[in-house]
Structure 1
Amino acid sequence: MQGNEAHGPVGPDVWQICRELIPERSVFAFLAEHREALFPAGMFADMYPSPNGRPSYPPQVLSTVLVLQVLNGLSDAEAVQELRCDLRWKAACGLGLLDGGFDPSLLTYFRRRLQHSRDPHRVFTAVRQVVEATGILRGRRRRALDSTVFEDAVATQDTVTQLVSAIRRVAREVPGGAGTVKTWCTGHDYLSGPGKPKIAWDDEKARAELVDALVTDAIAVLARLPDQELGERAANAVGILALVAGQDVEPAEDSDGSDGRWRIARRTAANRMLSTIDPEARHIHKTTHRQADGFKGHLAFEPETGLFTAVALHPAGGTDHTEGTVALELLADETGPLDVFGDTAYSGHHYRAVLTEAGHRVFCKPAPLKPAVPGGFTLDDFRIDTTAATVTCPVGHTVPLGDPAGQRLQRKAFFGELCTGCSLRPRCTKNKLGRILTIRPHHARQAAARRAATDPDWQAAYRRWRPPVERGVAWLVAHGNRRLRYLGTLKNDTWLHTRAAALNLRRLINLGLTRANGTWALTPATP
């Protein structure tokens, strides 16, 4: 049953008696005045469908606490402590001087309701509706896109730890799993407690034997679990065990796997799971020199106003959530054509085509071409006519552009003997057979994008409107928010939307957000 604020504050109303002590244009003062308008009670009705039972703590107050919590990068316990002791927090939440707040676990329960509701991002949606009501984005048709790494909340586990943990989870979650583990597992006493097996870890042979035994146990458990329909938690436990039993191991050097002997693989599996505690966290390569473990956050940013128009958080591994793919998600709710700014991660030919077909102008920096010889000629130095199927090199030699098997997927041009004795060969190729060009189906589109990027007006627009998104990234990760506090994509994506909403609200307040006669408006401060 949904609670409300009708009971009033406990003790003197802090906002009434301390109004002069709280800065006028602050988030605290704004929430104290307009909390109910921003988060009306009806906004949470679907989260409390039953009219029976004990009334919940008012969700309007909990939403206000969430906003202040993510704005300041606090844990649940720290947020409740601020609510008990800081007059600004009490005023923002409509509490009295003697109000002791609530237990920190209530924030966990509220987030859980929020995450599994029909609109987990309703706090972001509420602030976005305020943005739309003010009209601040009207006529502003630029969006800058970027992504950033968020580090996971758990430690990366090695293969042995993952195997032990996954088998223990099956014993806990799967009906009959404990009996299967006890009967068929011999490599370690999984039911005795957590922790690694006790072996001589500096002994390479002992480590190899342990890995072999653990993988054998995992396979035995998967093969001999009772045949039954599993619930979500049990199915997840079995799936995790199957994954960790195969992602880091391979048959021993003198084995094909049929004799059941295994070793640590001499490679890193693609999309490798890092921890059984948070199975969705992944290795992230933001750049070739920067690596991390966790998730990747994506944002669309209006560069003139400094407002987030959309955010998203996804696991870093795989190809389903690359920057180009998520760009379409970030712009899905936009109406009308936009000028879209992004770095090379957003310049893929497919996403560029989709954005262009939607009417957007794309200012995404094309990926640079790599010459066959350092400092030498690139693809753009050749005259390529895909219609006439010819390629002309910088010195003037023309060769046909082949069409293998009539597929027109990758077409090749072979210069062969024409490169023999050519004065420009040192700048063109090191191949003994001469220069070979590979032309892909999207060549014309990408070449046009590279030509457009050389235009001074294009470069001026990119330099002006792309960099502000870095400020938005800095705001998101400030106050220690680079490291996530929660497990899984759903929880962290909900947190990211709430943080973006809080930052948008703070930005609007700084721009003069007010409410008069039931209408949101921006009133700049009088100098």
Structure 2
Amino acid sequence: MISTVDPESRHTRKSPEARRDGYRAHVAAEPETGIITDEALTKATGTENSDPGVAEKFLAADAEARLGEAGADGVGAREGYGDSAYGTGDLRGAMHDAGHDAVIKPKPLHAAVEGGFTVDDFTVDEPAGTVTCPAGNTRPITKARHVIFGALCRDCPLSARCTTSKSGRTLDLHERDALLRRARADWAAKPELREKHQQNRPNVERVVSQIASRGGRRLKLRYRGTEKDHAWLTRRTAGLSLRTLVGRGLVRTAGIWALTPQTT
């Protein structure tokens, strides 16, 4: 907590170098038009307030609103775009379960040893409940989704490229490990995914910039607490979306809003 008069305000970091104080705003937007479809303002800290955590809430709200719209032929499936911050196993799993495609840049893998083996160099056999390392050693996956190679690493000729731990290499596998592996493989093998991401992300980034700034200057919140600041955010996003729709031909005639035929 950074303020006794604004106790919901928190420290956070955009990156290891960029520190922020205050709140975190989240938005979902249709990338082709820039129309904002959902928003939330939360405390800056807490797993439930993280980007993928709030995105899961957006997904659940969308599914509830569209309940019954999708038929047996799959109508209603969507593509969801996001940067690597949204590339968690939980969010990918939620999108997969909802029948949507996640066009999300995978989080980069970090090797325990520079230039050494990553988790993708280990072969996972989920039906058998085992993992095989690059040296060919196989160990079981525990109930907590850990894989402990332990003493097998002691005399392994590849250990210098695998781990610096004296107790050997240990893997922690996510429940959605298969989805994460497939996402990394698809991102590397399918340039069309990267092209879609590069094509659509700038449009949403532009929406974010419009929300967070005015006249080239970054906006500052006027209120204390998430409730009032969230109310401010919803009014701002509604105004920006209305401006976008008016620019696309939205008119009000006889008390009814409609898009003009030439812009539909």
TM-score normalized by the length of structure 2: 0.83
CA distance in structure 2 between the aligned counterparts of 1:302 and 1:466, rounded to whole angstroms: 10
1:459 paired with 2:199, answer: no
Match of 1:389 among 129, 151, 154: 129
Match of 1:366 among 106, 111, 135: 106
Which position in structure 2 is the counterpart of 1:353? 93
Give the RMSD, CA atoms, in angstroms: 2.4
Contact 1:417-1:433 at 8 Å conserved across structures:
no
Rate the CA distance shift 1:329–1:431 in 2: closer, same or farther, 3 A.
closer
CA distance in structure 2 between the aligned counterparts of 1:322 and 1:402, rounded to whole angstroms: 28
Shift, 1:388, TM fit: 2.1
Match of 1:487 among 224, 227, 232: 224
Unpaired segments of 5 or more residues in structure 2?
67-75
Contact 1:339-1:361 at 8 Å conserved across structures:
yes
CA distance in structure 2 between the aligned counterparts of 1:362 and 1:276, rounded to whole angstroms: 40
CA distance in structure 1 between the aligned counterparts of 2:252 and 2:97, rounded to whole angstroms: 39
Which position in structure 2 is the counterpart of 1:63? none
Residues 106-128 of structure 1 deviation map (CA, whole Å, 9 limit, x = unaligned):
xxxxxxxxxxxxxxxxxxxxxxx
Shift, 1:420, TM fit: 2.7
Match of 1:416 among 151, 172, 175: 151
Shift, 1:433, TM fit: 4.5
Match of 1:511 among 248, 251, 256: 248
Shift, 1:449, TM fit: 2.4
Which position in structure 1 is the counterpart of 2:165? 431
Shift, 1:459, TM fit: 1.8
Shift, 1:430, TM fit: 2.5
CA distance in structure 1 between the aligned counterparts of 2:156 and 2:88, rounded to whole angstroms: 37
Contact 2:145-2:172 at 8 Å conserved across structures:
yes
Which position in structure 2 is the counterpart of 1:314? 42
Q: Percent identity?
A: 41
SS in 1 for 2:234: helix
One-letter amino acid of the structure 2 residue matched with residue 400 of structure 1: R
Contact 2:106-2:184 at 8 Å conserved across structures:
yes
SS in 2 for 1:329: helix
Shift, 1:500, TM fit: 0.8
One-letter amino acid of the structure 2 residue matched with residue 322 of structure 1: S
- Bigger Cα displacement from structure 2, 382-391 vs 493-502: 382-391
CA distance in structure 1 between the aligned counterparts of 2:159 and 2:139, rounded to whole angstroms: 19
Contact 1:409-1:440 at 8 Å conserved across structures:
no
Rate the CA distance shift 1:448–1:325 in 2: closer, same or farther, 3 A.
same
Which position in structure 2 is the counterpart of 1:443? 177
Match of 1:295 among 20, 23, 38: 23
Residues 151-196 of structure 1 deviation map (CA, whole Å, 9 limit, x = unaligned):
xxxxxxxxxxxxxxxxxxxxxxxxxxxxxxxxxxxxxxxxxxxxxx
CA distance in structure 1 between the aligned counterparts of 2:35 and 2:238, rounded to whole angstroms: 9
Matches within 5 A, 1:325-344: 325-331=53-59, 332-333=61-62, 335=66, 336-344=76-84
One-letter amino acid of the structure 2 residue matched with residue 439 of structure 1: L
Shift, 1:493, TM fit: 0.8
CA distance in structure 2 between the aligned counterparts of 1:325 and 1:410, rounded to whole angstroms: 21
Matches within 5 A, 1:390-409: 390-395=130-135, 397-403=136-142, 408-409=143-144
Rate the CA distance shift 1:417–1:492 in 2: closer, same or farther, 3 A.
closer
Match of 2:234 among 456, 479, 497: 497
Which position in structure 1 is the counterpart of 2:33? 305
Rate the CA distance shift 1:366–1:517 in 2: closer, same or farther, 3 A.
same
Match of 1:468 among 187, 199, 203: 203
Which position in structure 2 is the counterpart of 1:281? 9
Shift, 1:300, TM fit: 0.4
CA distance in structure 1 between the aligned counterparts of 2:232 and 2:146, rounded to whole angstroms: 47
Which position in structure 2 is the counterpart of 1:173? none
Structure 1 runs, 4 residues or longer, greater than 6 Å off = none
Match of 1:376 among 76, 97, 116: 116
Report how many residues are paired: 248
One-letter amino acid of the structure 1 residue matched with residue 212 of structure 2: V
Rate the CA distance shift 1:523–1:488 in 2: closer, same or farther, 3 A.
same
CA distance in structure 1 between the aligned counterparts of 2:153 and 2:56, rounded to whole angstroms: 45
SS in 1 for 2:48: coil
CA distance in structure 2 between the aligned counterparts of 1:328 and 1:425, rounded to whole angstroms: 39
Contact 1:294-1:316 at 8 Å conserved across structures:
yes
SS in 1 for 2:240: helix
Rate the CA distance shift 1:413–1:421 in 2: closer, same or farther, 3 A.
closer
Matches within 5 A, 1:205-284: 273-284=1-12
Greater percentage in helix: 1
Shift, 1:276, TM fit: 1.7
Residues 393-439 of structure 1 deviation map (CA, whole Å, 9 limit, x = unaligned):
334x2322253xxxx113314163466362x4432223345433333
CA distance in structure 2 between the aligned counterparts of 1:448 and 1:380, rounded to whole angstroms: 10
Shift, 1:516, TM fit: 3.4
Contact 1:414-1:436 at 8 Å conserved across structures:
yes
Rate the CA distance shift 1:504–1:417 in 2: closer, same or farther, 3 A.
closer
Residues 272-317 of structure 1 deviation map (CA, whole Å, 9 limit, x = unaligned):
x211221211112222221111110000011111111111111112
